[in-house]
Structure 1
Amino acid sequence: MQVSDYTIGIDFGSDSVRALIVDVTTGEEIATGVSYYPRWKKQQYCDAAANRFRQHPLDYTESMTDAVRQAVAEAPDGVADRVIALAVDTTGSTPVAVDESGTPLALLDRFSENPNAMFVLWKDHTAIGEAAEINAACRAAVTDYTKYEGGIYSSEWFWAKALHVMRDDDAVAKAAYSWVEHCDWIPFLLSGGAQVKNMKRSRCAAGHKALWHPEWGGLPPEEFLTGLDPVLAGMRDRLFDETYTSDEVAGNLTGEWADRLGLPAGIPISVGAFDAHMGAVGGEIEPFHLSKVMGTSTCDMLVVPAGHEGAGAQVKGICGQVDGSVIPGMMGMEAGQSAFGDVYAWFARLVAWPLENVLAKNTSLDEATRTKLIEETRSAIIPQLSEAAEALPISDDILALDWFNGRRTPDADQSLKGAIMGLNLGSDAPRVFRALVESTCYGARRIVERFIEEGIPVEGLIGLGGVAKKSPFIMQTMADVMDRPIRIARSEQTCALGAAMFAAVSAGKYSDVSAAMEKMGGGFDAEYQPDAKRAAVYEGLYQRYLRLGEAIEKETHEDRDDAAAPKPDKRSVAEPSESELL
């Protein structure tokens, strides 16, 4: 009997890490483990009102160890011993300041409680001002370094975050030898990296978020960076020129980490990448099919084969186009929404306020009963809202705008805010929830239209992630608003599955990623077809959504311009000055 080999994909999400053991011959998902970040769960080091979201590196290492150990324990006897490679994906851009050894500063005693020394999560928007400066500098430069980034640099990305932190914290700025992405640090850590200069940097992360491109020799030059701020002096030389696709080996698992994880020592570790990019591979992406990873936010991936005229196009307003960032040999294009599931979670928290602030203080129930009642009710809010909202007819009464965490695509602008209009005294929770769902689907449609406007065809939609798997109501609404069918990948863990596919290529089991997808892909288990009547109604509502967006954007920019304008002398015009009195 043939003995199977296995790979393991480790997926670092916003809230937790998942580990998935996969049979490299059949793609069967053998075992899985999930572990939530303990500090993040308590929202330590975060300030949502200030858009500051930081994660401690110990959350990553502790939860990774726990998740892999769970998967190893769940797997049949002997499976862990036959794991031949591993790969990781992470959120991004999620960078951190490191010392010369590549150690995140938060792992040093003097920075252990300093949020600026921690990983700056993708949805941290504290660097809006720095992003604006980068955009202005790129417009003024001989070379516009944003031209392969959709033409607009975002506060969610590498340089804006690094610059903001270094301006904000002199101690971190002085201690920061370099900066690294989360997806680069984990393979470096697991393979025993000791000098950050030897870290293999992800093509995916560098190309989409750090202004890296072969046209100008890698990263922007020193004079451009120091022109932004002298605090960046010397950083360019301490970063990197070369980048690597995820079918290449970053290093090999050390004996120490092998013991901690319960895996064989010496197995190859793939170069890391972002979750949505590996998720697109796990969801069997095809050329010109938009692969939508739908979770707290969305990340939408599209690949264009080499030689197609679209591969050389510069698509405006997206999150970059990078050769090999998804499938080596194809142009990877990224778009997305800064809030998707987060919009629904926000509304659930809003309507759950009485649970946390009224029921929690109720003394007629014992503490155990109160806690159980709160937890059960909280977990039922979104499913019950979805059921009630689905039963409602489509209405033009309430219209919402999905920019609750700014706008990622098209045309990144993290200063924008969400909106809800048309409320009246009959507006109940299911009706508002339905409007919020529709708004996220309108935002998704706008992304598709931008690709088409820029000459990139969108021939199909593939849905991945938790929302795609768990909410038929949202997916049917998506199909109706888009007026396109959407296929749902069978695997519930496409990001980890995609990582396992890359690991199989790194281990030499497959010649390339396409071959790994063919053998290890799980296929699709659902397809939502648009309803022609509903699609016609949504066409008119979508046009209203666009007009509402234009109005909110205009108002936001006018307020921002007013705030930035020089303030007039507070002294009354009629009041004589001191010199006039003399």
Structure 2
Amino acid sequence: MSQSHSYVIGVDYGTDSVRSIVVDASNGVEVASAVFLYSRWKQQLYCDAGINQFRQHPLDYLEGLEETIKRCLLQAGPGVAANVKAISVDTTGSTPVAVDESGTPLVFQPQFQNNPNAMFVLWKDHTSVQEAAEINRHAAAFDVNYLQYVGGIYSSEWFWAKLLHVLREDEAVRGAIYSWVEHCDWIPFVLTGGKRAADIRRGVCSAGHKSLWSEAWNGLPPNEFFASLDPLLDGFTSRLFDKVYTSAEPAGTISKEWADKLGLPEDVVIGVGAFDCHMGAVGGQIEPYYLSKVMGTSTCDMLVAPPEEVADTLVRGICGHVTGSIIPGMIGMEAGQSAFGDAYAWFKNVLAWPVQNLLAQSQLLDADTIKKLVDETTDKIIPELSRQAAQLPLEEGGEFALDWINGRRTPDANQLLEGAFGGLGMGSDAPRMFRALVEATCFGAKAIVDRFVEQGIPVKGLIGLGGVAKKSPFIMQMMADVMNMPIRIHRSEQTCALGAAMFAATAAGLFPKVEDAMQAMGQGFDAEYDPNEEAVPVYAKRYQQYKSFGAYIESETTQSQPSTLNSQTQLETAI
């Protein structure tokens, strides 16, 4: 490997694993990559799906960071480590943690070592549904609409709802917490050897989309807003932040401890962190008014537009409008679905139950053969379902579904909503139900595009990123047909990590702005799906059925949960 080249490292923290890549900054070529599965998360430690509690231990993050970077550098070969100029990270979000005054997560204190409330509260944790509803109801009483830049509805997936829930639930954590920090802000702090929580450089991405930070009110909402919501929050903003940074800026340089640990020079720049979908949009070469869809366990749909063209337009029911959250100087807008790949994984797990549970009782096979058979069978479920579902005739009737398996992120966040199937009969089988579920996820995506367009933000086309986009032609063709617009699939297997690498190169000064890094390092597109003219009108009619079914399920849910949901309905009406 040529020592004349400059290299950067992009680190992408996903829900199940962390992946790192080493990239040649001159052309974006990936020279090494490594993936680490979170060992504690794989065992579902500290989680309780029955109450939607999903927590992650910081050791999974730190062990993965060290192992993947070391493996990458070993794979890259001699001369590369000495020429690494910068590291940037992206993470899931909102995934915050309680820290002490030194910025250390409370779980590292002996008394909290097995306490889920002292760990990172994963984005998909919905234990704070009630707190989110209270925030929405509370915000309606203020002259200033502090929710206007987050789509008008605060979500249980976000920063303040999660903090309030933990403070209320856990007296011990409440007594020990100093600050509340997003995963994407904590990792750069660790890599730079930070010793004080007050010194953590918070990114505009997490601050604007999840924490209610806005230039319109010069920072976070005033203390009065939070203290009057719950006295437990009184004074908490003073321990957070009043300044934010774009991901094109450095958080600092690597500490000696981490430089020695990773085998890197001590002048490596550490960039300010951001959420995976935002950096993924950059890695996927986002363009103004093209919806960049990062499709994994959930979806994050990103759109950028020039401020002078957007003006005062705000899209109701999405996850925010934040200047600089994706590309510095441009408005970044975020939407998405709480379950996408997760919906397919749920269906796979339902079908796999007898294989996993009954085969284990078999007296005909040895344990090793049973394990291999279970692994082989479960691995084939989704590919075979996709193959058979693609062969089914497309008709206006038949099975249909709702994609709210993990609630609804956008449009109009409501995490109490549930998935459902309709139109089932004696002829309904697994491929037909799978097709209906895939169709529902595509319809959920269309509802997001419709909301952008209805609210005055055009969508010119789609960019597909992530595992589902790369692996499933069946789903991507249906997406094009349902949307009635082409979808381009980015060539890179790791667009989020590549986007982080682009930001690392910019933070290190190798490029004057991230658009230049994107142009030099972008890998282009390797597939495009165009709408099937015969399928488009059929899906248009079925989409109306999806909306009617959704409205019915939502009304029934609202009636069964009046105290929580009626406040949200009132807020939507007020907005």
Q: Under a length normalisation based on structure 1, what TM-score does the superposition of the two structures give?
A: 0.96
Residue 271 (structure 1) aligns with: 272
After superposition, give the CA deviation of every residue in 1:9-36 in whole Å (9 maximum; x if it has no partner): 0000000000011101011011000000
Residue 57 (structure 1) aligns with: 58
Amino acid at match of 1:393: P
1:241 maps to 2:232: no
For 2:565 and 2:286, locate their aligned partners in 1 and report how far apart those are by CA, in whole Å. Answer: 44
Distance 1:563 1:476, change over 3 A: closer
Residue 86 (structure 1) aligns with: 87
Aligned positions of 1:356-375 closer than 5 A:
356-375=356-375
Residue 28 (structure 1) aligns with: 29
After superposition, give the CA deviation of every residue in 1:328-369 in whole Å (9 maximum; x if it has no partner): 000000000000000000000000001121001112111110
> Aligned with 1:231: secondary structure?
helix
Residue 325 (structure 1) aligns with: 325
> Aligned with 1:416: secondary structure?
coil
Residue 179 (structure 1) aligns with: 180
After superposition, give the CA deviation of every residue in 1:528-549 in whole Å (9 maximum; x if it has no partner): 0000110111000000000001
For 2:264 and 2:471, locate their aligned partners in 1 and report how far apart those are by CA, in whole Å. Answer: 32
> Aligned with 1:514: secondary structure?
helix
After superposition, give the CA deviation of every residue in 1:161-210 in whole Å (9 maximum; x if it has no partner): 00001100010011111100000000000100000111100100000000
1:312 Cα deviation from its structure 2 partner:
2.9
1:281 Cα deviation from its structure 2 partner:
0.1
1:4 Cα deviation from its structure 2 partner:
0.9
1:443 maps to 2:448: no
Q: Is residue 96–residue 181 contact of structure 1 (8 Å, CA) maintained in 2? A: yes
Residue 287 (structure 2) aligns with: 286
Count of equivalent residues: 564
Q: Is residue 116–residue 169 contact of structure 1 (8 Å, CA) maintained in 2? A: yes
1:563 Cα deviation from its structure 2 partner:
8.9
1:168 maps to 2:169: yes
For 2:565 and 2:515, locate their aligned partners in 1 and report how far apart those are by CA, in whole Å. Answer: 50
Distance 1:124 1:169, change over 3 A: same
> Aligned with 1:532: secondary structure?
coil
Aligned positions of 1:561-576 closer than 5 A:
561=562
> Aligned with 2:9: secondary structure?
strand
> Aligned with 1:452: secondary structure?
helix
Amino acid at match of 2:129: I
For 1:511 and 1:217, locate their aligned partners in 2 and report how far apart those are by CA, in whole Å. Answer: 27
Residue 121 (structure 1) aligns with: 122
1:97 Cα deviation from its structure 2 partner:
0.5
Amino acid at match of 1:394: L
For 1:347 and 1:192, locate their aligned partners in 2 and report how far apart those are by CA, in whole Å. Answer: 43
Amino acid at match of 2:291: L
Distance 1:6 1:562, change over 3 A: closer
1:103 maps to 2:104: yes
User: Quick check: which has more Rg, 1 or 2?
Assistant: 1
1:2 Cα deviation from its structure 2 partner:
7.8
Identity of aligned residues (%): 61
For 2:458 and 2:520, locate their aligned partners in 1 and report how far apart those are by CA, in whole Å. Answer: 27
For 1:70 and 1:482, locate their aligned partners in 2 and report how far apart those are by CA, in whole Å. Answer: 41
For 2:492 and 2:264, locate their aligned partners in 1 and report how far apart those are by CA, in whole Å. Answer: 24
Q: Is residue 304–residue 311 contact of structure 1 (8 Å, CA) maintained in 2? A: no
1:311 Cα deviation from its structure 2 partner:
4.3
Q: Is residue 502–residue 518 contact of structure 2 (8 Å, CA) maintained in 1? A: yes
Amino acid at match of 2:378: R
1:232 Cα deviation from its structure 2 partner:
1.2
Residue 463 (structure 1) aligns with: 464
Q: Is residue 451–residue 458 contact of structure 1 (8 Å, CA) maintained in 2? A: yes
Residue 17 (structure 2) aligns with: 16
For 2:513 and 2:498, locate their aligned partners in 1 and report how far apart those are by CA, in whole Å. Answer: 15
- Which has the higher mean CA deviation after the structures are superposed, 210-219 or 283-292? 210-219
- Which has the higher mean CA deviation after the structures are superposed, 470-479 or 76-85? 76-85
For 1:142 and 1:49, locate their aligned partners in 2 and report how far apart those are by CA, in whole Å. Answer: 38
Amino acid at match of 2:491: R
- The runs of 5 or more residues in structure 1 that have no matched partner are 566-582
Q: Is residue 17–residue 64 contact of structure 1 (8 Å, CA) maintained in 2? A: yes
For 1:372 and 1:346, locate their aligned partners in 2 and report how far apart those are by CA, in whole Å. Answer: 21
For 2:216 and 2:301, locate their aligned partners in 1 and report how far apart those are by CA, in whole Å. Answer: 25
- Which has the higher mean CA deviation after the structures are superposed, 89-98 or 353-362? 353-362
1:422 maps to 2:428: no
For 2:392 and 2:565, locate their aligned partners in 1 and report how far apart those are by CA, in whole Å. Answer: 44
> Aligned with 1:19: secondary structure?
strand
For 2:96 and 2:216, locate their aligned partners in 1 and report how far apart those are by CA, in whole Å. Answer: 24
Residue 557 (structure 1) aligns with: 558
Residue 394 (structure 2) aligns with: 394
Aligned positions of 1:185-334 closer than 5 A:
185-308=186-309, 310-334=310-334
- The runs of 5 or more residues in structure 2 that have no matched partner are 567-575
After superposition, give the CA deviation of every residue in 1:296-346 in whole Å (9 maximum; x if it has no partner): 0000000011311x2431110100010000000000000000000000000
